[in-house]
Amino acid sequence: MIADAGTLRWARHLNCVRMNVATERMGPRAMSGGCGIALLLAMAVCTAMAQGVGKENWGPKPTYLGFDRNDYPGDGALSTLRRSFRYTSYWLNPPPGEKANSWSDRRAILRRYGFGFLVLYDGRTDAELKLAAWKGMSAEDLGTADGKAAAAAAVREGFPRDVLIFLDQEEGGRLLPEQADYVFAWIDGVRAAGAGAGVYCSGLEVTDSSGTISTADDIATRERTREVGSGAPKHERRLAMWIADDRCPPSPGCALEAPPVDAGVGAARRPLITEFATVWQYAQSPRRKQFSATCPANQAADGNCYVPGLPPSANTFVDLDTANSPDPSEAAR
């Protein structure tokens, strides 16, 4: 594991302290020589750098490694998982394709092991939205109801009322009208209940009749329009985005490192997404060959990313995430 920026800043600070001690021991006469002059120059550099300790503007932002998966990995795996990961996903309702939620009532034990959280709520598919409309319930009404349900579920699980909850928007590409109605009604419903709102979505571009766009681009653009316009209730906390993009590069594949979030969202060419992005899912299990064909060969033979120290099994493969916080859902409050 590479050291994060905070660790590197602290190491530089300690070096400055050591230099200061050295100058005191050398005394004035020794400091007048060539070695002394060099040390004084080094001290000047250290002084300038020390003024930036703890600030984000003189080095890369720290990033933190986490994992997500649909099924709870089991209490027995937590100690080993914590050696590699700072946070984990936590579902508030059954994950996609599941009828039950194995994460229920696990917050307390995960917190005891020191995990932070990515709190998730599975949203509705477009087919479900169309079926609800046929039954007389609009996508907007359904989004509002689900947003309130997500906030209530988080409180029942022991999370603070203002926890950040991510809506799992599985279907990619430009949002269809009913999808947009649902997503933004969900966001407003969560916020109205006192929680923070986020969206997990794809950062992969898809070409349609209107051009090429990713779900992340589409949501970021719509949210920015809402922020500057009058079409949405104003909220002090901005939307957070957890973006899935497992293409290599920039993804390092199944590497247990925490690459910069900005690298994954393409900060140089997609500055709007960067404003909202807080988490990047950079590897999935199993790998999707159509997107990760150029990734390093660091996955298992079955294409999964497995946890070091645990035998490969259905309970030990993970998706890999990098975030700007060791506790994205609770530290963002």
First to last CA, the chain: 28
| Bridge pairing between strands 206-208 and 319-323 | unpaired
pLDDT in tens, 209-255: 889 999 999 999 999 999 887 655 666 789 999 999 999 989 999 99
Under 8 Å between Cβ of 87 and 116? yes
Query: What's the Cα-to-Cα distance from 11 to each of 21, 46, 320, rounded to whole Å?
Result: 16, 11, 28
Q: Tokens 């109801």 label which residue? A: 145
Angle at 69 (CA atoms; ends 67, 75), nearest 5 degrees: 85
Please say whether the beta carbons of 140 and 176 come within 8 A: no
**Superfamily per CATH, domain 62-323:** Glycosidases (3.20.20.80)
* Dihedral (CA of 50, 51, 52, 54) sign: positive
Joined tokens for residue 34: 């060539």
- Three-state DSSP class for residue 67: strand
- Judge contact between 281 and 321, C-beta under 8 A: yes
Q: For every one of its 333 residues, what pLDDT tens digit does the chain have, with 9 covering 90 and above?
A: 223 333 333 233 334 333 433 433 344 444 444 444 443 444 443 433 333 332 222 236 799 999 999 999 999 999 999 999 999 999 999 999 999 999 999 999 999 999 999 999 999 999 999 999 999 999 999 999 999 999 999 999 999 999 999 999 999 999 999 999 999 999 999 999 999 999 999 999 999 988 999 999 999 999 999 988 765 566 678 999 999 999 998 999 999 989 999 988 886 678 888 899 999 999 999 998 888 888 898 999 999 999 999 999 999 999 999 999 999 999 865
CA–CA separation, 310 and 74 (whole Å): 12
Question: Domains of the chain: which residue ranges?
Answer: 5-55, 62-323
Q: Following CA atoms 221, 234, 150, 86 in sequence, which dihedral angle do they give, to the nearest 10 degrees? A: 70
